[in-house]
Protein backbone atom coordinates (compact mmCIF):
# COMPACT_ATOMS: atom_id res chain seq x y z
CA UNK A 1 0.00 0.00 0.00
CA UNK A 2 1.11 3.54 -0.81
CA UNK A 3 1.55 6.54 1.50
CA UNK A 4 -1.30 7.12 3.96
CA UNK A 5 -3.50 10.22 3.83
CA UNK A 6 -5.74 11.03 6.79
CA UNK A 7 -9.24 11.84 5.50
CA UNK A 8 -11.42 13.43 8.16
CA UNK A 9 -15.06 13.03 7.22
CA UNK A 10 -14.05 10.29 4.79
CA UNK A 11 -17.31 8.40 5.35
CA UNK A 12 -19.32 11.31 3.95
CA UNK A 13 -20.40 12.16 0.42
CA UNK A 14 -17.36 14.02 -0.97
CA UNK A 15 -14.94 12.37 1.49
CA UNK A 16 -15.81 8.84 0.40
CA UNK A 17 -15.49 9.66 -3.30
CA UNK A 18 -12.12 11.29 -2.54
CA UNK A 19 -11.01 8.16 -0.64
CA UNK A 20 -11.71 6.13 -3.75
CA UNK A 21 -9.76 8.62 -5.90
CA UNK A 22 -6.84 8.48 -3.45
CA UNK A 23 -6.80 4.71 -3.62
CA UNK A 24 -6.79 4.87 -7.42
CA UNK A 25 -3.83 7.26 -7.27
CA UNK A 26 -1.81 4.84 -5.12
CA UNK A 27 -2.47 6.27 -1.65
CA UNK A 28 -4.08 4.57 1.35
CA UNK A 29 -6.92 6.71 2.72
CA UNK A 30 -7.15 6.50 6.51
CA UNK A 31 -10.67 7.67 7.30
CA UNK A 32 -11.28 9.55 10.56
CA UNK A 33 -15.01 10.04 11.09
CA UNK A 34 -17.55 10.04 13.94
CA UNK A 35 -20.21 8.49 11.64
CA UNK A 36 -22.75 11.13 12.74
CA UNK A 37 -23.58 11.80 9.08
CA UNK A 38 -21.21 9.46 7.27
CA UNK A 39 -21.76 5.80 6.40
CA UNK A 40 -19.59 2.90 7.44
CA UNK A 41 -20.51 1.28 4.08
CA UNK A 42 -18.75 4.17 2.33
CA UNK A 43 -15.35 3.32 3.87
CA UNK A 44 -13.99 0.75 1.45
CA UNK A 45 -10.41 1.69 0.60
CA UNK A 46 -8.58 1.77 3.92
CA UNK A 47 -8.96 1.75 7.69
CA UNK A 48 -11.64 3.62 9.63
CA UNK A 49 -10.86 5.42 12.87
CA UNK A 50 -13.94 6.52 14.77
CA UNK A 51 -13.21 9.82 16.40
CA UNK A 52 -14.24 13.42 16.98
CA UNK A 53 -12.54 15.93 14.71
CA UNK A 54 -12.20 18.40 17.60
CA UNK A 55 -9.98 15.93 19.47
CA UNK A 56 -6.43 17.08 18.61
CA UNK A 57 -4.78 14.35 20.69
CA UNK A 58 -6.65 11.59 18.93
CA UNK A 59 -5.92 13.15 15.53
CA UNK A 60 -2.19 13.47 16.29
CA UNK A 61 -2.11 9.86 17.45
CA UNK A 62 -3.71 8.73 14.16
CA UNK A 63 -1.30 10.87 12.10
CA UNK A 64 1.69 9.32 13.90
CA UNK A 65 0.37 5.77 13.86
CA UNK A 66 -0.04 5.79 10.08
CA UNK A 67 2.89 8.17 9.36
CA UNK A 68 0.51 10.12 7.14
CA UNK A 69 1.93 12.11 4.23
CA UNK A 70 -0.94 14.58 4.32
CA UNK A 71 -4.44 15.38 5.57
CA UNK A 72 -7.68 16.12 3.74
CA UNK A 73 -10.10 17.75 6.15
CA UNK A 74 -13.79 17.30 5.26
CA UNK A 75 -15.39 16.64 8.65
CA UNK A 76 -17.84 19.37 9.56
CA UNK A 77 -21.43 20.50 9.51
CA UNK A 78 -22.79 21.54 6.11
CA UNK A 79 -26.46 22.40 6.23
CA UNK A 80 -26.94 26.12 5.73
CA UNK A 81 -30.45 26.29 7.24
CA UNK A 82 -29.36 24.52 10.41
CA UNK A 83 -26.38 26.85 10.74
CA UNK A 84 -28.83 29.74 11.08
CA UNK A 85 -30.73 28.04 13.92
CA UNK A 86 -27.63 26.51 15.63
CA UNK A 87 -24.65 28.81 15.00
CA UNK A 88 -23.08 27.51 18.23
CA UNK A 89 -22.79 24.00 16.78
CA UNK A 90 -21.39 25.22 13.46
CA UNK A 91 -18.69 27.39 15.01
CA UNK A 92 -17.79 24.61 17.44
CA UNK A 93 -17.47 21.75 14.91
CA UNK A 94 -16.21 23.71 11.92
CA UNK A 95 -13.72 26.09 13.54
CA UNK A 96 -12.59 23.95 16.48
CA UNK A 97 -12.28 21.07 14.02
CA UNK A 98 -9.80 23.06 11.91
CA UNK A 99 -7.92 24.19 15.03
CA UNK A 100 -7.55 20.58 16.18
CA UNK A 101 -6.45 19.34 12.74
CA UNK A 102 -3.84 22.10 12.39
CA UNK A 103 -2.56 21.58 15.92
CA UNK A 104 -2.30 17.80 15.41
CA UNK A 105 -0.44 18.36 12.12
CA UNK A 106 2.05 20.68 13.80
CA UNK A 107 2.65 18.22 16.62
CA UNK A 108 3.01 15.20 14.34
CA UNK A 109 5.11 17.03 11.73
CA UNK A 110 2.56 16.56 8.94
CA UNK A 111 3.02 19.33 6.37
CA UNK A 112 0.32 19.13 3.68
CA UNK A 113 -3.37 19.96 4.20
CA UNK A 114 -6.30 20.12 1.78
CA UNK A 115 -9.35 21.85 3.27
CA UNK A 116 -12.96 21.42 2.28
CA UNK A 117 -14.28 24.96 1.79
CA UNK A 118 -17.31 26.32 0.03
CA UNK A 119 -18.79 28.90 -2.31
CA UNK A 120 -20.73 30.08 0.75
CA UNK A 121 -17.66 32.20 1.64
CA UNK A 122 -18.75 34.61 -1.15
CA UNK A 123 -22.17 35.25 0.41
CA UNK A 124 -24.64 36.86 -1.98
CA UNK A 125 -22.50 38.52 -4.66
CA UNK A 126 -23.90 41.73 -6.11
CA UNK A 127 -22.51 41.01 -9.57
CA UNK A 128 -24.09 38.26 -11.67
CA UNK A 129 -20.71 37.14 -12.95
CA UNK A 130 -18.56 34.06 -12.39
CA UNK A 131 -16.74 34.20 -9.07
CA UNK A 132 -12.98 34.50 -8.76
CA UNK A 133 -11.03 33.69 -5.61
CA UNK A 134 -10.08 37.35 -5.14
CA UNK A 135 -13.71 38.47 -5.12
CA UNK A 136 -15.25 39.84 -1.94
CA UNK A 137 -15.60 37.31 0.87
CA UNK A 138 -18.80 38.12 2.73
CA UNK A 139 -20.69 35.08 4.00
CA UNK A 140 -24.38 35.52 4.78
CA UNK A 141 -24.84 32.59 7.16
CA UNK A 142 -22.95 30.98 10.07
CA UNK A 143 -22.00 28.02 7.84
CA UNK A 144 -20.11 30.30 5.43
CA UNK A 145 -18.70 32.34 8.33
CA UNK A 146 -17.31 29.24 10.04
CA UNK A 147 -15.73 27.95 6.80
CA UNK A 148 -14.13 31.31 6.02
CA UNK A 149 -12.78 31.48 9.57
CA UNK A 150 -11.33 27.98 9.03
CA UNK A 151 -9.58 29.17 5.86
CA UNK A 152 -8.12 32.14 7.74
CA UNK A 153 -6.89 29.99 10.62
CA UNK A 154 -5.20 27.69 8.11
CA UNK A 155 -3.62 30.58 6.16
CA UNK A 156 -2.26 32.05 9.40
CA UNK A 157 -0.86 28.66 10.41
CA UNK A 158 0.86 28.30 7.02
CA UNK A 159 2.57 31.64 7.66
CA UNK A 160 3.47 30.69 11.23
CA UNK A 161 4.87 27.18 10.93
CA UNK A 162 5.74 24.36 8.58
CA UNK A 163 2.33 23.84 6.98
CA UNK A 164 1.19 24.11 3.34
CA UNK A 165 -2.47 24.09 2.45
CA UNK A 166 -5.00 24.34 -0.35
CA UNK A 167 -8.60 25.35 0.42
CA UNK A 168 -11.00 24.04 -2.21
CA UNK A 169 -14.18 26.09 -2.47
CA UNK A 170 -16.83 23.74 -3.80
CA UNK A 171 -19.86 24.97 -5.60
CA UNK A 172 -22.72 22.41 -5.70
CA UNK A 173 -21.41 18.87 -5.35
CA UNK A 174 -23.73 16.43 -7.14
CA UNK A 175 -23.98 13.05 -8.85
CA UNK A 176 -22.57 9.73 -7.72
CA UNK A 177 -19.70 7.35 -8.41
CA UNK A 178 -20.14 6.20 -12.04
CA UNK A 179 -19.28 2.63 -11.00
CA UNK A 180 -22.07 2.60 -8.41
CA UNK A 181 -19.82 2.14 -5.35
CA UNK A 182 -20.86 5.39 -3.67
CA UNK A 183 -23.40 8.16 -3.77
CA UNK A 184 -25.19 10.86 -1.84
CA UNK A 185 -27.11 9.83 1.30
CA UNK A 186 -27.87 12.66 3.71
CA UNK A 187 -30.46 12.30 6.48
CA UNK A 188 -32.43 14.42 6.36
CA UNK A 189 -31.80 15.21 2.69
CA UNK A 190 -31.95 18.92 1.88
CA UNK A 191 -30.18 19.03 -1.51
CA UNK A 192 -32.06 19.81 -4.69
CA UNK A 193 -31.12 16.93 -7.01
CA UNK A 194 -31.80 14.00 -4.62
CA UNK A 195 -35.05 15.64 -3.47
CA UNK A 196 -36.17 16.13 -7.09
CA UNK A 197 -35.39 12.48 -7.89
CA UNK A 198 -37.32 11.36 -4.80
CA UNK A 199 -40.27 13.48 -5.96
CA UNK A 200 -40.43 11.46 -9.21
CA UNK A 201 -40.63 8.24 -7.18
CA UNK A 202 -43.62 9.00 -5.01
CA UNK A 203 -41.66 10.92 -2.38
CA UNK A 204 -42.65 14.32 -1.04
CA UNK A 205 -43.23 16.95 -3.73
CA UNK A 206 -40.29 19.23 -4.42
CA UNK A 207 -40.75 22.80 -3.26
CA UNK A 208 -39.19 25.40 -5.56
CA UNK A 209 -37.70 27.94 -3.17
CA UNK A 210 -38.48 31.23 -4.85
CA UNK A 211 -39.61 32.20 -8.36
CA UNK A 212 -38.94 35.93 -8.17
CA UNK A 213 -35.15 36.03 -8.23
CA UNK A 214 -33.41 38.34 -10.72
CA UNK A 215 -32.39 35.34 -12.86
CA UNK A 216 -33.54 34.31 -16.35
CA UNK A 217 -36.40 32.06 -15.11
CA UNK A 218 -36.80 33.53 -11.62
CA UNK A 219 -35.35 30.51 -9.78
CA UNK A 220 -31.89 30.32 -8.17
CA UNK A 221 -28.85 29.52 -10.30
CA UNK A 222 -26.05 27.24 -9.04
CA UNK A 223 -22.95 25.58 -10.49
CA UNK A 224 -23.39 21.79 -10.17
CA UNK A 225 -20.17 19.80 -10.29
CA UNK A 226 -19.78 16.03 -10.39
CA UNK A 227 -18.47 14.61 -7.13
CA UNK A 228 -15.84 12.47 -8.91
CA UNK A 229 -14.40 15.65 -10.46
CA UNK A 230 -14.23 17.21 -7.00
CA UNK A 231 -12.54 14.05 -5.70
CA UNK A 232 -9.78 14.16 -8.34
CA UNK A 233 -9.04 17.79 -7.52
CA UNK A 234 -8.24 16.82 -3.91
CA UNK A 235 -5.60 14.33 -5.04
CA UNK A 236 -4.01 16.99 -7.26
CA UNK A 237 -4.16 19.57 -4.45
CA UNK A 238 -2.17 17.23 -2.20
CA UNK A 239 0.58 17.16 -4.80
CA UNK A 240 0.72 20.74 -6.14
CA UNK A 241 3.98 22.60 -5.48
CA UNK A 242 4.98 26.25 -5.22
CA UNK A 243 2.04 27.41 -3.11
CA UNK A 244 1.91 31.17 -2.74
CA UNK A 245 2.88 31.92 0.91
CA UNK A 246 2.07 28.29 1.61
CA UNK A 247 -1.68 28.74 1.16
CA UNK A 248 -4.00 29.04 -1.83
CA UNK A 249 -7.78 28.92 -2.20
CA UNK A 250 -9.33 27.58 -5.41
CA UNK A 251 -12.88 27.41 -6.73
CA UNK A 252 -14.19 24.07 -7.95
CA UNK A 253 -17.13 24.30 -10.29
CA UNK A 254 -17.87 23.72 -13.98
CA UNK A 255 -18.29 27.42 -14.57
CA UNK A 256 -21.82 26.81 -15.83
CA UNK A 257 -24.98 27.93 -14.04
CA UNK A 258 -28.20 25.88 -13.88
CA UNK A 259 -31.46 27.15 -12.44
CA UNK A 260 -33.75 25.13 -10.17
CA UNK A 261 -36.13 24.78 -13.13
CA UNK A 262 -33.34 23.50 -15.36
CA UNK A 263 -32.52 20.89 -12.71
CA UNK A 264 -36.17 19.83 -12.62
CA UNK A 265 -36.10 19.43 -16.42
CA UNK A 266 -32.87 17.38 -16.26
CA UNK A 267 -34.32 15.12 -13.55
CA UNK A 268 -37.51 14.70 -15.62
CA UNK A 269 -35.43 13.64 -18.63
CA UNK A 270 -33.28 11.23 -16.58
CA UNK A 271 -36.22 9.60 -14.75
CA UNK A 272 -38.69 9.63 -17.64
CA UNK A 273 -41.31 11.33 -15.48
CA UNK A 274 -41.99 14.69 -13.86
CA UNK A 275 -41.30 15.19 -10.17
CA UNK A 276 -44.24 16.50 -8.17
CA UNK A 277 -43.48 20.20 -7.69
CA UNK A 278 -44.98 22.94 -5.56
CA UNK A 279 -44.05 26.61 -5.67
CA UNK A 280 -42.71 28.03 -2.42
CA UNK A 281 -41.19 31.22 -1.10
CA UNK A 282 -37.51 32.02 -0.91
CA UNK A 283 -35.38 30.00 1.52
CA UNK A 284 -33.53 32.18 4.02
CA UNK A 285 -29.88 32.67 3.16
CA UNK A 286 -30.10 31.65 -0.52
CA UNK A 287 -28.18 33.93 -2.91
CA UNK A 288 -29.74 34.28 -6.40
CA UNK A 289 -26.70 33.03 -8.28
CA UNK A 290 -23.40 31.28 -7.46
CA UNK A 291 -21.26 30.23 -10.42
CA UNK A 292 -17.52 29.56 -10.30
CA UNK A 293 -14.72 30.76 -12.44
CA UNK A 294 -12.55 27.65 -12.02
CA UNK A 295 -9.52 29.06 -13.91
CA UNK A 296 -7.20 29.00 -10.86
CA UNK A 297 -7.80 25.28 -10.19
CA UNK A 298 -7.37 24.55 -13.89
CA UNK A 299 -4.07 26.42 -14.06
CA UNK A 300 -2.60 25.47 -10.71
CA UNK A 301 -3.78 21.85 -10.48
CA UNK A 302 -3.90 20.98 -14.16
CA UNK A 303 -7.48 19.98 -13.39
CA UNK A 304 -10.61 20.27 -15.44
CA UNK A 305 -14.06 18.83 -14.93
CA UNK A 306 -14.45 15.65 -16.98
CA UNK A 307 -18.21 15.53 -16.55
CA UNK A 308 -19.17 18.60 -18.53
CA UNK A 309 -22.90 18.23 -18.95
CA UNK A 310 -25.67 18.41 -16.39
CA UNK A 311 -27.43 15.35 -17.86
CA UNK A 312 -24.54 13.04 -16.96
CA UNK A 313 -24.36 14.43 -13.42
CA UNK A 314 -28.08 13.82 -12.92
CA UNK A 315 -27.95 10.38 -14.61
CA UNK A 316 -25.35 9.13 -12.10
CA UNK A 317 -27.46 10.42 -9.20
CA UNK A 318 -30.55 8.65 -10.60
CA UNK A 319 -28.63 5.38 -11.12
CA UNK A 320 -27.44 5.48 -7.50
CA UNK A 321 -30.96 6.10 -6.20
CA UNK A 322 -32.42 3.32 -8.38
CA UNK A 323 -29.81 0.97 -6.89
CA UNK A 324 -31.23 1.97 -3.46
CA UNK A 325 -28.13 3.83 -2.30
CA UNK A 326 -26.40 2.09 0.58
CA UNK A 327 -29.41 -0.25 0.84
CA UNK A 328 -32.94 -0.16 2.22
CA UNK A 329 -31.66 -0.46 5.80
CA UNK A 330 -29.95 2.90 5.31
CA UNK A 331 -33.03 4.80 4.14
CA UNK A 332 -33.81 6.42 7.46
CA UNK A 333 -31.54 6.02 10.47
CA UNK A 334 -32.03 8.00 13.64
CA UNK A 335 -31.45 11.70 13.04
CA UNK A 336 -28.09 12.82 14.40
Active site residues: 143
Is 148 a binding residue for ligand UFG by CB under 6 A? The answer is no
Radius of gyration of the chain measured on its C-alpha atoms:
19
Is 220 a binding residue for ligand UFG by CB under 6 A? The answer is yes
Backbone φ and ψ for 279, nearest 5 degrees, come out as -85, 130
Is 209 a binding residue for ligand UFG by CB under 6 A? The answer is yes
Q: Which is nearer to ligand UFG, 229 or 286 (CB)?
A: 286
Residue from 59, 208, 238, 317 binding ligand UFG (CB under 6 A): 208
Is 119 a binding residue for ligand UFG by CB under 6 A? The answer is yes
Give me the least distance between CB of 147 and ligand UFG, in Å please: 8
Is 191 a binding residue for ligand UFG by CB under 6 A? The answer is yes
Strand partners, 259: 221
Residue from 30, 105, 120, 238 binding ligand UFG (CB under 6 A): 120
Output the CA angle 74-101-188, nearest 5 degrees: 30
DSSP 8-state code for residue 206: E
Are 30 and 6 in contact by the 8 Å Cβ rule? The answer is: yes
Is 176 a binding residue for ligand UFG by CB under 6 A? The answer is no
Q: Which is nearer to ligand UFG, 56 or 250 (CB)?
A: 250
Q: How far are the Cα atoms of 68, 116, 304 from residue 249, in angstroms, in the given order?
A: 23, 10, 16
Q: Which is nearer to ligand UFG, 192 or 307 (CB)?
A: 192
Measured CA to CA, the distance from residue 11 to residue 33 in angstroms comes to: 6
Is 195 a binding residue for ligand UFG by CB under 6 A? The answer is yes
Are 125 and 119 in contact by the 8 Å Cβ rule? The answer is: no
Count of residues binding ligand UFG (CB under 6 A)?
22
CB atoms within 10 A of CB 229: 23
- Give the binding site for ligand UFG (CB under 6 A): 78, 80, 118-120, 143, 171-172, 190-192, 195, 206-209, 220, 222, 260, 283, 286, 290
Amino acid sequence: PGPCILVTGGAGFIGSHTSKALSRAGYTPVVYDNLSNGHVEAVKWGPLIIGDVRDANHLAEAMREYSVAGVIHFAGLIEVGRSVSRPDLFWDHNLNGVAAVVSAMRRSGTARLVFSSTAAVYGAPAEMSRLREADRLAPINPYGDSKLAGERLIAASCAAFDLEAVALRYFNAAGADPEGDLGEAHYPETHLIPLAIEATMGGAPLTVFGSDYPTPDGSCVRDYIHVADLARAHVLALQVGGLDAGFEAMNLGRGVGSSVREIIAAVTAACGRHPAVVEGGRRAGDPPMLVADPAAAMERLGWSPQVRDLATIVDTAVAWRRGCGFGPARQGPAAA
